[in-house]
Amino acid sequence: MLQNQVTTPSVLAGDLTAQDADRLVQRATETSLNDGGLQTSELLKQALDCDPTHHDAQVLQERLHQMCVPRWHFPMLADQARNRAYARAIAAKVRPGDVVLDIGCGAGLTAMLAARAGAKHVYTCEQQPLIADVARRVIADNGLSEKITVLSKWSHDIVIGTDMPEPADVVISEIVDTVLLGEGALATLTHAMAALAKPGARALPERGVLQAQVVHSDALVQQWRPAAAEGFDLRAFQALSQMAQLTPNDFAASDLRALGPVTDLFSFDFTQPSLKPGRVTADLACHHTGQAHAVMVSFQMVLAPGISVSNDLEATGHWGRTAFLLDQPLCVAPGARLRLTAQHDAAHLSLRVNDLYPAMQDAQTAKIWQSAIWSEGAAAPPLAALAPVSAGAGQGAAYPH
């Protein structure tokens, strides 16, 4: 009896027994997730319609949601600064009559903002079927189903003439991670601007910049590079922790202090994106005396002229932070520079600190550094870290980032 009832949940509530709920849950556990969890979700919903307190159904439903719907969706949707910036930028950039492609529908917020801005029609794609399915409901709840088509697929699989009647005038996206590149934004937008948009189409965001700065944070080191526990020496294990991925809560608890200004590493034009890899050597200036523990990487993303979002030190909001940890703290003073090499392959960022300038033999600077060490109550070891390290001859091992 159950086989034919998966797609007709409305008839189930009155008919099913607790035993049927057990069977539905059993089928849910046996169903492939190749469809992105759609059928499993439906079976679990039916089981819970039948028995709302079914323990296994509740546990499995939660597990499915955790697996298919990244948890950052919720703080992201609650990030008012982000939402406001997108709302203002979309209102400024979408013109009445535009065909809009919104890449990455999520709950449908950016698509609905584009519809509200007067788009002729919004096509929004979402690679996660469960999310796409619920987004359709959100869009219907807001009376916008006629204006917005949800395509349950990757943007790369959209076919003009089949999924969209014509290419887009505007391409909207919010598919960046803490260092812009990790969610494949460059590959996605390179394809979309070439294959799914009209020549000269507008992109929102239009530009992004990756930047770095030297930071101090004892808490960061304590959390990410514990040296000892219960009297045991754990320093060898530190080699496995070179990059700290901070949630907004971690970030708030880490109390990162800037020892210098941000320096731009890479700039990306999202209206004409490219997959060309990049490599840059940059000197990060230090304007304050203190112990440097990490290089924090952040982004500035220009959505429309004068409207940006960022995850720099001052920003609030849902984006996490990425900090490249120094192998050992470096004492720096105004005038010092940390030379690093940053590289990207359009999807990943790597970063290595090569050198600290000026060199230790500069007596004046050494004095300032020494006073910095004493004033921070640090023990002798950081002095060793003052020796300038060149990238070659094996010395770079002290600066693995």
Ligand X SMILES: C[S@@+](CC[C@H](N)C(=O)[O-])C[C@H]1O[C@@H](n2cnc3c(N)ncnc32)[C@H](O)[C@@H]1O
Q: Is 181 left (phi over 0), alpha (psi -120 to 50) or beta?
A: alpha
Report d(CA 180, CA 269) in Å as an integer: 12
Q: What's the closest the beta carbon of residue 76 comes to ligand X, in angstroms?
A: 6
CA distance 330 to 380: 12
**Which of the ranges 23-31, 105-113, 307-315, 317-325 carries the binding residues for ligand X, by CB under 6 A?**
105-113
With CB atoms as reference, the residue minimizing the distance to ligand X is 104
Residue 37 is a binding residue for ligand X (CB under 6 A): no
Which residues contact residue 113 at a Cβ distance below 8 angstroms, ignoring those fewer than 6 apart?
A: 86, 87, 90, 91
User: Which of 50, 103, 196, 325 touches ligand X by CB under 6 A?
Assistant: 103
Cα-Cα-Cα-Cα torsion 34, 153, 179, 238, nearest 10 degrees, comes to: 0
- CB-nearer residue toward ligand X: 109 or 372: 109
The one segment of 123-131, 280-288, 357-365, 380-388 that binds ligand X by CB under 6 A: 123-131
Contacts of residue 27, defined as CB under 8 A and 6 or more positions apart, other chains included, come to: 2, 43
Q: Which is nearer to ligand X, 142 or 370 (CB)?
A: 142
Instruction: Tell me whether residue 57 or residue 192 sits nearer to ligand X (CB atom).
Output: 192
Instruction: Candidates 60, 90, 115, 125: give the one binding ligand X (CB under 6 A).
Output: 125
| Residues near ligand X (CB under 6 A), total | 18
Q: Which of 31, 40, 61, 128 binds ligand X (CB under 6 A)?
A: 128
Candidate segments 33-41, 106-114, 220-228, 355-363, binder of ligand X by CB under 6 A: 106-114
* Tokens coding 265: 């590493």
**Interface stretch with ligand X, choices 107-115, 307-315, 328-336, 377-385 (CB under 6 A):** 107-115
Q: Is 106 in the site for ligand X (CB under 6 A)?
A: yes
DSSP 8-state secondary structure symbol assigned to residue 68:
H
Question: Backbone phi, then psi, for 282, in 5-degree steps?
Answer: -130, 145
CA-based nearest residue to 374, from 334, 331, 328: 331
Which member of 122, 131, 220, 295 binds ligand X (CB under 6 A)?
131
Q: How far is the CB of 196 from ligand X (least distance, A)?
A: 11
Site membership for ligand X, residue 154 (CB under 6 A) = yes
Report the largest interatomic distance among the alpha carbons of the chain, rounded to a whole angstrom: 87
Q: Hey, CA dihedral for 180, 274, 304, 141, is it positive or negative?
A: negative
User: Which listed residue (40, 41, 46, 110) binds ligand X by CB under 6 A?
Assistant: 110
Neighbouring CB atoms inside 10 A of 277's CB total 11
Contact 293, 246 (CB under 8 A): no
The distance from CA 320 to its chain's CA centroid, rounded to whole angstroms, is 7
Hey, CA dihedral for 98, 99, 103, 109, is it positive or negative?
positive
Q: Out of 21, 44, 48, 109, which residue is the one contacting ligand X (CB under 6 A)?
A: 109
- The verdict on 114 binding ligand X (CB under 6 A) reads no
Residue 101 Cβ, how far from ligand X at the closest point, in Å?
10
Residues 371-400 interacting with ligand X (rule: CB under 6 A): none
Residues 173-232 close enough to bind ligand X by CB under 6 A: 174-175, 183, 188
Burial of 394 (0-12, 13-18, 19+ CB in 10 A): exposed
List for the chain the helix, strand, coil content (%; round to 5): 35, 30, 35
Residue list 322-351, contact with ligand X (CB under 6 A): none
What is the contact mask toward ligand X in residues 39 to 78, using x (rule: CB under 6 A)?
-------------------------------------x--
Among 58, 127, 238, 343, binds ligand X (CB under 6 A): 127
In the bound complex, what is the minimum distance in angstroms from residue 191's beta carbon to ligand X?
A: 8
CA end-to-end span of the chain, whole Å? 61
**Contact residues: ligand X, CB under 6 A:** 76, 103-104, 106-107, 109-110, 125-128, 131, 154-155, 174-175, 183, 188
